[in-house]
Every structure is written in C-alpha cells, then in structure tokens.
Amino acid sequence: MTNLMNIALVADQPETASCPALFLAAPASGQGKTTVSAALARMLKRQGKVVRVFKTGPDYLDPQILHQASGEPVEQLDMWMAGEAYCQTKLFEAARDADLILIEGAMGLFDGEPSSADLAARFGVPIALVMDVKGMAQTAAAVATGLVNFRDDVQFAGLIANNCGSERHRQLIEDALPENLPLLAHLARSEDVALPERHLGLVQASEVTDELEIRLNNGADWLEQAGLADLLARVPSVDFHMAEMSDVPELLKGQRIAIAKDEAFSFIYDANLRLLEEMGAELSFFSPIHSNVLPEADALWLPGGYPELHAEKMAQNQPMIEQIQTFHQSGKAILAECGGFLYCLETLTDLDEQQYPMLGILTGHGAMRGKRGCQGMQTAPLPEGEIRAHAHHRSRSADTDEPIAHGRRQRHPAPGEAIYRSKHLTASYLHLFFPSNPEAVAKLFKPE
C-alpha cells in the first residue's frame, strides 16, 4: 500500500524542468540592463548555446533587440498583466529547451506592483545587479548593499559594475562589497555597444539591423574581455514547474484577421498573435505604408508603433485609406491601439508640427507632444469583458467624440485612457494583452 501511495503522490506532482537562470535588474532605468542582456545573449549564442530571454513588463522595443541578439523568441513576463500561471508556463517551456534563461527587469528593481523583485522572488531566479558606477566608487557598493538587504525573499548572484573607469575604480568597489554580493564583472566604458534610441525608447531592431549586429558583437567582445565568457558555468540551475492552464477555445475558427505590420505599426505581442491562431483565426499582414490592397478579411487589427514618423507616406497611400474606410463602413470589426488609434483620426501632427490627413473613421485629431507622455498599466472595461493592458505614448488626441469607457488604472483612482467605439471599431491608446481574457478578445474580432 505504501508503494501505491508513493506512486500516486509522484503522479500528482507538477512536471519540472531545470535550467540555469539569471535575472538582470538595476537600481533604476538607464543603467545598461538591455545592453548587458543583449550582449550576454549574443556572447552565449556565439558559443553555440540556446539562450531564452524574457523581458519584464509590457515592452515592445527591448524584446526586438533581445530577439536579434539571441536568435530565439522573446516573451514579456508580467504577473499583473498576464498572470502568474502564464509566466510560470512560459518559463517552464523555455527551461525544457534552453541552456540558459535570462530575464531582463524593468525600471528599478523594486519599482512597480508587481516589481522585478516580485517576479524574481516568485520563481526563485537569482539577480545580477547591473549598476552604472560612473562618478562613484564605495558609494556604488553602499547602494548595492542596500538593495540586497531591502528584502529577504530575493537572492543575488552578484554585481555587474557598468561604466567602470579603471582597474583602481574596480578595486575600490569590490573591496567595499559585502561577502554575499560578489563582483561578477566590471565593464569598461564603451560607445561601441550603446543601443540607438528615440522618443519612446530604443529604435526598432528592424530599422537598424546591420548596425545592431555590429553593436551586439561588440557587446559580446566587451563581456568576454571583462571575464564573463564562462558565465554559464557560474549560474545556478532553477526548477520551473508546469502550471495548470485552461484550454483555449476555438472561438475565432475560420475568422480572417488582417493585421497592419510595417515600420509604422509593429507593437505586437507574439503572445497575442499566438492566441488568435490558437482560437482558430487565419492571420494575414499588410502595410498601411506600402500595400495598395487590403487583404480579404473579416476583421482588422491596427496595432501601435510609430505612425508619427511615417505620417506623410501613410497619408499618400490613398488606395489603402479608401479600402479601410470602406471596410469600416461595412460594419466589420476593427481594433485600433495607440498608433492605430491615431491612424483612425482625421489628422495627425508629427514631431515637426506637420499635419497630415489620416483615415477619418473616428472624429478627432492627434498630435505629438515631445517628451511629455502617459504610461502605466490599466484595465480596459469593454462591453465584451475586461482586458488587461498598458499605455505608453507621447501624443494627445483632441475634438473626439464621447468615449464609451475609460481605462481603470492599476494604482490610481483617476480615469485612464478613453475608449472609443464607432460601429464595430474599438479604438484607444491602450495596448491590450489578449491572453488576459481570450473570450472578450474573440468578441472584439467577431462581434455577434
């Protein structure tokens, strides 16, 4: 009987996959997390290793860089937006195939709810603290020590001192570090590894592919020169357990969805595409800049991106404008997010204060506003159901019709982003995370 009971207990235990894993976090934004993460991924890829990289939070740009660096798909992990079970599933799946899992944090280590530290603690991944030490020495050790001692449920692998000026600079920092926080590496200052940026963050990888390749390989050399070539041997394995996830219903079986995807529209979660396909949708892609013909479709998705950088070319593509206008008038479903929302308005004024005509299927005008903007996690309370989302934009809309609802901010009582509806067009600044409510997403693309 004892043997039978033991067999039953083993059968009930979740499946486990073990893999070396490291969480790259920092005291604040701008410390070099993405540069170091991408350089590590490229360095290990050059060694023939399979590196699966994850990005904390709702980020579109960093994952593009990290995908090119690693050659592997990059998933976003956020326990509020996606849920713990989703994050657990993605880590488990990666652990079955990877030689190393890297997770890049967002903002400062303890910023946000949930924070990077919350994610690292939940899945037991040790943290490598990336810190820009330019202009300080022992103080860098003091700041790092404070971070290590702030909570007792996170573990640290060590410190990566970025922008370290000299061997003497390194020694001053290392001598001041506590025993439980080793110096993993000190990285020399280098302009050859910096990643190109613009007003919303990093430049899209597809725009600078060749330059990015050079910088990624420079970054790999940079880390090897700093003594990190054997990093994999120093990273402990972590056990990741399979989570119980509900089966995805085929609510979009046979539904044809055309998706805008080009230089202007590229803020697309792979998880969203994957979910649409799992629900049975047939996906096609088109370019509001370059395509003259809209694909045969039952629904359109106009995601976010950089329409302000390509507004003139979009305005000149009259055949596409007319076809989308006709599509909308026919009453078919359209989802427009952020940049897609701006495209739906009557006009868009770019960063040079040049105004261009847009689709005009929504009343109102969009305009860029320099460095001021809005960002944060919100829930979209749609008639179809609540979908978790985030906002990140540096533009404004004016003279719009009354919204049907406003986003509900994660941690603030003020109304969030306005949500508009015209026929079966749903438009907002919000970027929706489809797996947070598949049934509601299906109703958006296939209204009753």
The H or E element containing residue 213 is: helix 209-225
* Alpha-carbon gap, residue 18 to 280, rounded angstroms: 32
Alpha helices in 99-180 (DSSP H): 116-123, 138-150, 167-176
* Alpha-carbon gap, residue 125 to 237, rounded angstroms: 9
Q: Is the dihedral of CA 346, 350, 353, 356 positive or negative?
A: negative
* Alpha-carbon gap, residue 163 to 183, rounded angstroms: 14
Give 236's contacts (C-beta < 8 A, 6+ positions apart): 20, 21, 126, 157
Strand order in the sheet with 365-368: 355-357, 347-349, 365-368, 395-398
* Alpha-carbon gap, residue 357 to 412, rounded angstroms: 35
Burial class (CB in 10 A: 0-12, 13-18, 19+), 258: buried
- 87 labelled catalytic: no
- E strand residue ranges, 57-174: 75-77, 100-104, 127-132, 156-164
| 3-state SS, residue 102 | strand
- The token pair that represents 252 in the structure block: 């979009």
Instruction: Kindly name the residue from 164, 338, 344, 374 that is annotated as catalytic.
Output: 338
| Spatial CA neighbour of 421 closest among 439, 432, 406, 434 | 406
For β-strands 374-382 and 385-393, DSSP reports them as: antiparallel
| Spatial CA neighbour of 301 closest among 166, 149, 431 | 431
Give 9's contacts (C-beta < 8 A, 6+ positions apart): none
Query: Which residue is it, tokens 């976003």?
Result: 76
Q: Which residues are catalytic?
A: 338
